[in-house]
């Protein structure tokens, strides 16, 4: 844990969806992308390759569960999965539902805007998403400590 790392501590703007002893899933509440989720490893690890193989598996398993849940709830045109960490070298994945009329499509959400975005991102129902994640993760990851601490 480092004092100046924004991911080592929950941001006041994030909504916690699920967590266990390894990682947390949040809604980042990005203005143009309200359905953008992040999976954030708890400890200050820089690269995927710094995790043990079982940890790499667990992390990607959770990322794919989030992907499935967002597809089910929003039927996006595409899901973007991104792990950059150039600005904040604390291991995290972005799971981003994309729509053809969103602000940056077909470019990445970090590119120059292409239009005024108007997309179904805003239709995300936080409680439905949390319920879906909790159900699917409970069925696939044992001994996970489910919490709704942020609600």
Residue closer to Zn ion by CB (options 2, 72) is 2
CA atoms of 1 and 25, how far apart (whole Å): 18
Residue from the set 37, 40, 62, 90 that interacts with Zn ion by CB under 5 A: 90
The binding track of 42-61 with respect to Zn ion, each residue x by CB under 5 A or -, is --x-----------------
- Closest-by-Cβ residue to Zn ion is 5
Candidates 5-13, 62-70, 96-104, 120-128: pick the segment binding Zn ion (CB under 5 A).
Answer: 5-13
Taking residue 6's Cβ as centre, other Cβ atoms within 10 Å add up to 11
Does the protein bind Zn ion through residue 7 (CB under 5 A)?
Answer: yes
Does the protein bind Zn ion through residue 5 (CB under 5 A)?
Answer: yes
How far apart are CB 82 and Zn ion at their closest, in Å?
A: 18
Tokens of 41: 């490893």
Instruction: Decide: 75 and 98 in contact? Cβ < 8 Å.
Output: no
- 81 DSSP β-pair partners: 95
User: With the C-alpha atoms ordered 105, 107, 109, 112, is the resulting torsion angle positive or negative?
Assistant: negative
Tokens of 110: 């970090």
Residues that bind Zn ion (CB under 5 A): 5, 7-8, 44, 90
């Amino acid at each position: 844990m480092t004092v100046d790392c924004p991911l080592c501590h929950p941001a006041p703007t994030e909504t916690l969806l699920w967590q266990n002893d390894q990682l947390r899933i949040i809604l980042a509440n990005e203005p143009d992308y309200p359905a953008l989720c992040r999976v954030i490893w708890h400890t200050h690890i820089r690269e995927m390759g710094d995790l043990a193989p079982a940890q790499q598996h667990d992390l990607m398993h959770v990322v794919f569960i989030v992907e499935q849940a967002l597809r089910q709830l929003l039927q996006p045109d595409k899901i973007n999965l991104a792990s950059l960490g150039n600005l904040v070298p604390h291991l995290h994945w972005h799971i981003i539902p994309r729509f053809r009329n969103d602000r940056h499509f077909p470019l990445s959400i970090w590119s120059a805007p292409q239009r005024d975005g108007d997309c179904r991102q805003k239709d995300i129902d936080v409680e439905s998403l949390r319920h879906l994640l909790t159900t699917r993760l409970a069925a696939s990851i044992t001994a996970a400590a489910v919490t709704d601490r942020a609600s």
